[in-house]
């Protein structure tokens, strides 16, 4: 199957001098021995990333409601980490197939270290909410109310709301010989309730699930002295579980409520689907989605005031061990802080920003909307979202292709998209207009499986040819191909991106994309789509690197080439921007480059197994991490190439899954303006004058240290704010070095 991605073509090789140099025994002997402890642990590195998110929530320089949002993101990130990474680690230990990690830690050592760090971070997160966010919100007129502190009229209003909107949804579940302990769904918030029969004095346990379909926090309507609502009063919110707890006597009439406590369970929600050519992947995945709901628990969160009896009952019935129990102050599940972050308080949020239409598209003279095909015949267009609008670029490109009678075919990969997606609508419109439309839908995109199944069926019903990729490989590349009949024959228009075709996340994720009608790229995409939908094992590519066959080997060859250029006295450097870097073979090549004296700059958002600044190993490796308003999601791979810089953008991170188990694409840029822009962008992101986290080596330990102010206490450059200002054309937007680049 992987042979379908056989390495070949001009873009997948490098200059023959590099190949000759690699065969030179004398030079190869100069490579120093690499130490065994050269890799940071993947799971602990992810926790360090989420700690950086927490540091943003702790930052008093950020708008208050944005701090709340980062606190919610921290909680959501940790939920997914437990559902997938911790659950997978436990499953491998239980089945006896776990192996020692590249970091040298055994699976049990990793699990123990995760437990220690996760407890520390969750307690720190809870303290941030209680000691900093709540008081700061109250100062700004946003308060968290408690039932006993409300006035009678306010309680009466909430009582009516409970009876009308909440009570009909609730289902109390008793536990007794006739009612076994109920199944507790993953990530649901629950009330553990102990009630007493006043006649028999016997106590009983019951569970009440807090409905996920209702708002996490309910607005308390303030009442003035005259009994009317006060629209100028501060905003007050009460947690949904607290409102339910105040009305438990409605759920258990005739019983005395002795105690009630909140708890929350996280379960294994990773998917295991066995694929083979005979199996219908769609049906197999739907069956596995049902199983996901009943995965074993991996974390139990408890309120601190829970009685020992109820605590023991939950631990026993849920089958967790003490290390998996996290006792935290109420309220549990702070992902609900998104409700607070969304309040209409512009003074406490980032200034509003909407991406603009790229200049190259807006400049085309036409009485009708921009003619994308005419624009692309003039020049390639490099997009930088969200600074460049996704809706007026990529989305409009596909909509125009669907409506154009001269377009004969549209081919598209879909990994994640949104509800009511205009991308899906455009493909359906094209198919209904009689065009050939192919959609490569990745239905195994984690946590989007159900949505992707729905879209796949909707597309099929509309006449779109839907393919689920290649057995054993996820299709993660971001590609669009439009075939158009023109006076001189067929012309192919292409989009290659680093982000999903999702209009919603495109406003929040930083991504790059290339729009082009370059014949080489068009031919490459045609061949790749043929591989994905049919059989084309001997395809050659001109400007693409394609995983799983060639990305790793081609990047390693280019790293080795930089070593040889450095030794020959030519310009040599390596700059990478990725979401995660874990792949040992690539990291070892970067270590060898550092040992040879080649400067290596890495910008990584999440997991980083590289160790920076280690004497004799990585003194020449600089690692930065940038987190902020937008999620840094683009991937850039760039090399000095002896003074003729080579830049790639694409979908692939430096992880085993991307390089070995996914179809990924990197495209080489050729426009000098695009190369200059990305070169400047990387310089700014790596600069000491830019606000970022530095991976530092101190006394044998690696640590992420935030650098947000200079020695005089002045704020360093926020690269995202700089890019917003630059895109908006505001004064001073030229930023560091002031080069336009595009």
- Under the banding of pLDDT at 50, 70 and 90, the label for residue 726 is confident
Residue 294's CB: how many other CB atoms inside 10 A? 11
Q: Is the pTM of this model over 0.85?
A: yes
Dist CA 244 CA 264 (whole Å) = 16
Q: What is the pLDDT of residue 67?
A: 98
The encoded tokens of residue 376 equal 């692309």
Average pLDDT rounded to a whole number, residues 166-187: 84
pLDDT tens profile 123-161: 999 999 999 999 999 999 999 999 999 989 889 999 999
Question: Coil, strand, or helix at residue 354?
Answer: coil
Query: 105 near 113, Cβ under 8 Å?
Result: yes
* pLDDT tens sequence across 214-256: 988 999 987 655 555 566 678 899 999 999 999 999 999 999 9
Q: What's the CA gap between 583 and 715, in Å, rounded?
A: 34
Mean confidence (pLDDT) of the chain: 86
Q: How far apart are CA 274 and CA 674, in angstroms?
A: 43
Q: Tokens 């336009």: give the residue.
A: 740
Integer angstrom CA distances of residue 662 from 1, 43, 670: 12, 21, 26
- Supply angle C-alpha 536, 542, 547, rounded to 5: 60
Among 214-228, 363-377, 462-476, 491-505, name the most confident range: 491-505
Q: Which whole-number Å values give the CA distances from 289 to 277, 286, 311, 653, 665, in the listed order?
A: 20, 5, 30, 27, 29
pLDDT (0 to 100) of residue 580? 97
% of the chain exceeding 70 in pLDDT? 85
Q: What is the structure's pLDDT at 684?
A: 97
φ, ψ at 406 (rounded to 5°): -85, -10
Confidence band, pLDDT 50/70/90 cuts, at residue 279? very low
The lowest-confidence range among 14-28, 516-530, 555-569, 576-590 is 14-28
- Which pLDDT value is given to residue 283? 53
* pLDDT for res 532: 84
What does each C-alpha distance from 444 to 95, 176, 474, 506, 685 come to in angstroms? 23, 40, 7, 21, 33
Confidence of residue 731 (pLDDT cuts 50, 70, 90): very low
**Tokens 């704020």 found at:** 715
How confident is the model over 280-304, as a mean pLDDT?
Answer: 65
Q: Averaged over 435-448, what is the pLDDT?
A: 74
With 60 as the cut, is the pLDDT of residue 27 above it?
no
CA distance 75 to 176: 34
363 band by pLDDT with thresholds 50, 70 and 90: low
Encode pLDDT of 444-472 as tens digits.
545 555 666 777 778 888 888 888 767 67
Quote the pLDDT of residue 537.
61
CA 347 to chain centroid: 27
Please give the Cα distance from 133 to 122 (Å, whole number).
Answer: 15
pLDDT number for residue 452 = 62
From the list 636, 661, 524, the residue with the least C-alpha distance to 12 is 524
What pLDDT does 466 receive?
86
Taking a C-beta distance cutoff of 8 angstroms, is the pair 414, 440 a contact? yes
Pairing relationship of beta strands 474-475 and 662-668 according to DSSP bridges = parallel
Return the structure tokens found at 525.
């995409």
The residues that are catalytic are 476
Q: How far is CA 353 from CA 69, 349, 423, 599, 691, in A?
A: 17, 11, 23, 36, 20
Quick one: pLDDT at residue 402? 95
pLDDT in tens, 385-415: 999 999 999 999 999 999 999 999 999 998 7
Tokens of 371: 């003619």
pLDDT at residue 419 in the model: 55
Determine the 3-state secondary structure of 656 from DSSP: helix
Mean pLDDT of all residues in 73-100: 88
The residue-averaged pLDDT of 198-223 equals 89
Mean pLDDT score, 294-323: 89
pLDDT cut 90: percent of the chain above it: 66
Between these two residues, 524 and 1, which has the higher pLDDT value? Answer: 524
Burial class (CB in 10 A: 0-12, 13-18, 19+), 472: exposed
């Amino acid at each position: 199957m992987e042979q379908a991605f056989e390495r070949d073509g001009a873009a997948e090789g490098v200059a023959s001098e590099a190949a000759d140099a690699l065969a030179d025994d004398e030079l190869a002997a100069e490579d120093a021995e690499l130490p065994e402890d050269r890799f940071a642990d993947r799971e602990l590195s992810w926790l360090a990333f989420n700690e950086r998110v927490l540091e943003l929530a702790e930052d008093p320089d950020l708008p208050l409601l944005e701090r709340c949002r980062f606190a919610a993101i921290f909680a959501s990130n940790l939920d997914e980490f437990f559902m997938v990474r911790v659950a997978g680690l436990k499953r491998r230990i239980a089945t006896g197939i776990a192996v020692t990690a590249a970091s040298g830690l055994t699976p049990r050592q990793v699990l123990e270290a995760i437990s220690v760090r996760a407890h520390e971070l969750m307690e720190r997160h809870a303290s941030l909410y209680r000691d900093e966010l709540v008081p700061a919100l109250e100062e700004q007129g946003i308060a968290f109310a408690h039932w006993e502190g409300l006035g009678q009229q306010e309680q009466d209003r909430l009582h009516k709301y409970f009876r009308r909107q909440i009570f009909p949804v609730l289902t109390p579940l008793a536990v007794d010989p006739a009612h076994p302990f109920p199944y507790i769904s993953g990530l649901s918030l629950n009330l553990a309730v102990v009630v007493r029969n006043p006649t028999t004095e016997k106590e009983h346990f019951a569970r009440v699930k807090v409905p996920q379909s209702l708002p996490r926090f309910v607005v308390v309507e303030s009442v003035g002295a005259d009994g009317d609502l006060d629209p100028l009063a501060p905003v007050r919110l009460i947690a949904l579980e607290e409102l339910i707890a105040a009305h438990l006597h409605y759920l258990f009439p005739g019983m005395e409520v002795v105690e009630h406590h909140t708890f929350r369970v996280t379960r294994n929600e990773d998917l295991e689907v066995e694929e083979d050519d005979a199996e219908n992947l769609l049906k197999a995945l739907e069956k596995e989605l049902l199983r996901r709901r009943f995965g074993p628990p991996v974390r139990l969160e408890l309120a601190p005031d829970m009685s020992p009896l109820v605590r023991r009952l939950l631990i026993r019935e849920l089958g967790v061990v003490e290390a998996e129990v996290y006792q935290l102050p109420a309220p549990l599940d702070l992902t609900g802080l998104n409700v607070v972050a969304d309040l209409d308080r512009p003074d406490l949020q980032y200034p509003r920003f909407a991406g603009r239409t790229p200049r190259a598209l807006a400049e085309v003279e036409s009485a009708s909307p921009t003619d994308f095909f005419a624009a692309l015949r003039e020049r390639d267009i490099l997009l930088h979202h969200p600074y460049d609008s996704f809706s007026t670029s990529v989305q409009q490109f596909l909509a125009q292709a669907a409506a154009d009678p001269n377009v004969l075919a549209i081919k598209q990969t879909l990994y994640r998209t949104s509800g009511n997606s205009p991308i899906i609508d455009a493909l359906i419109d094209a198919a209904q207009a009689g065009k050939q439309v192919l959609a490569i839908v990745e239905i195994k995109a984690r946590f989007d499986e159900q949505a992707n199944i729905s879209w796949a069926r909707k597309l099929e019903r509309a006449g779109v040819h839907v393919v689920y990729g290649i057995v054993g490989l996820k299709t993660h590349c971001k590609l669009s191909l439009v075939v158009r009949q023109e006076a001189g024959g067929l012309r192919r228009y292409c989009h290659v991106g680093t982000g999903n075709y999702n209009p919603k996340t495109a406003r929040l994720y930083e991504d790059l994309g290339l729009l082009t009608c370059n014949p080489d790229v068009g031919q490459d995409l045609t061949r790749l789509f043929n591989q994905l939908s049919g059989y084309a094992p001997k395809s050659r590519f001109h400007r693409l690197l394609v995983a799983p066959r060639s990305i790793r080997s081609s990047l390693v060859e280019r790293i080795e080439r930089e070593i040889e250029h450095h030794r020959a006295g030519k310009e040599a450097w390596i700059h990478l921007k990725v979401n995660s870097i874990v792949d040992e073979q690539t990291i070892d090549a970067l270590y060898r480059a550092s040992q040879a004296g080649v400067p290596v700059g890495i910008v990584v958002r999440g997991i980083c197994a590289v160790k920076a600044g280690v004497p004799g190993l990585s003194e020449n490796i600089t690692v930065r991490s940038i987190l902020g308003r937008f999620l840094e999601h683009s991937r850039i791979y760039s090399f000095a190439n002896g003074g003729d810089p080579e830049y790639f953008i694409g979908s692939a991170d430096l992880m085993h899954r991307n390089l070995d188990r996914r179809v990924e694409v990197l495209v080489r840029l050729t426009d000098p303006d695009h190369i200059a822009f990305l070169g400047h962008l990387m310089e700014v992101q790596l600069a000491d004058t830019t606000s970022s986290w530095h991976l530092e080596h101190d006394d044998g330990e690696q640590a992420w240290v935030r650098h947000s102010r200079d020695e005089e206490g002045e704020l360093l450059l926020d690269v995202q704010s700089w890019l917003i200002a630059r895109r908006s054309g505001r004064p001073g937007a030229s930023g560091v070095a002031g080069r336009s680049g595009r």
